[in-house]
């Protein structure tokens, strides 16, 4: 039986560390497949490598009915003024949800498990999922994007 690394839970300091680029090896495919399989088994929308203590620029997101991997991604915001708010939650901050304002449309350049490169545009819920997981690579949690009032509410109500 495969041993699954635990999900790091806030305030674990490792969640605040910036990830390094992933170096492709013979372990890349099994590693990415493991992230996808774990997300599928648990019913999650996404999972970033730093959430399991691996500080590499790799995450997976459920896009449509399947998980898609994003390795060494670079994101550009299409229009800084076109934003929207929507409730977000996080595996690393269990049972807490709050509205987060994010850009509606992004452009993302990334590699897949085979080192093929892609440049794609995502909008709405898909861009939100990608931005949320991308933040983990930067050591950012969704609570860092809350306004002052929301942050006070979080500090008053969130218990680990």
- Please identify every residue annotated as catalytic: 133
For the chain, give the number of residues. Answer: 160
Determine contact, residues 79/104, Cβ cutoff 8 Å: yes
Residues 6 or more apart whose Cβ sits within 8 Å of residue 20: 55, 56, 57
């Amino acid at each position: 039986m495969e041993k699954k690394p635990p999900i790091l839970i806030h305030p674990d300091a490792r969640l605040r560390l910036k990830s390094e680029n992933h170096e492709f090896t013979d372990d890349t495919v099994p590693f990415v497949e493991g992230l996808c399989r774990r997300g599928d088994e648990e019913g999650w929308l996404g999972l970033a490598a730093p959430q399991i203590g691996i500080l590499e620029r790799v995450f997976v997101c459920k896009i449509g009915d399947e998980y898609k991997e994003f390795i060494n991604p670079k994101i550009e915001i299409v229009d800084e003024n076109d934003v929207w708010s929507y409730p977000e939650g996080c595996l690393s901050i269990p049972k807490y949800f709050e509205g987060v304002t994010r850009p509606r449309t992004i452009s993302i350049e990334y590699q897949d498990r085979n080192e093929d490169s892609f440049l794609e545009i995502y909008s709405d819920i898909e861009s939100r999922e990608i931005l949320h997981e991308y933040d983990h690579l930067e050591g950012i949690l969704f609570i860092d994007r809350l306004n002052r009032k929301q942050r006070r509410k979080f500090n008053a109500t969130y218990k680990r």
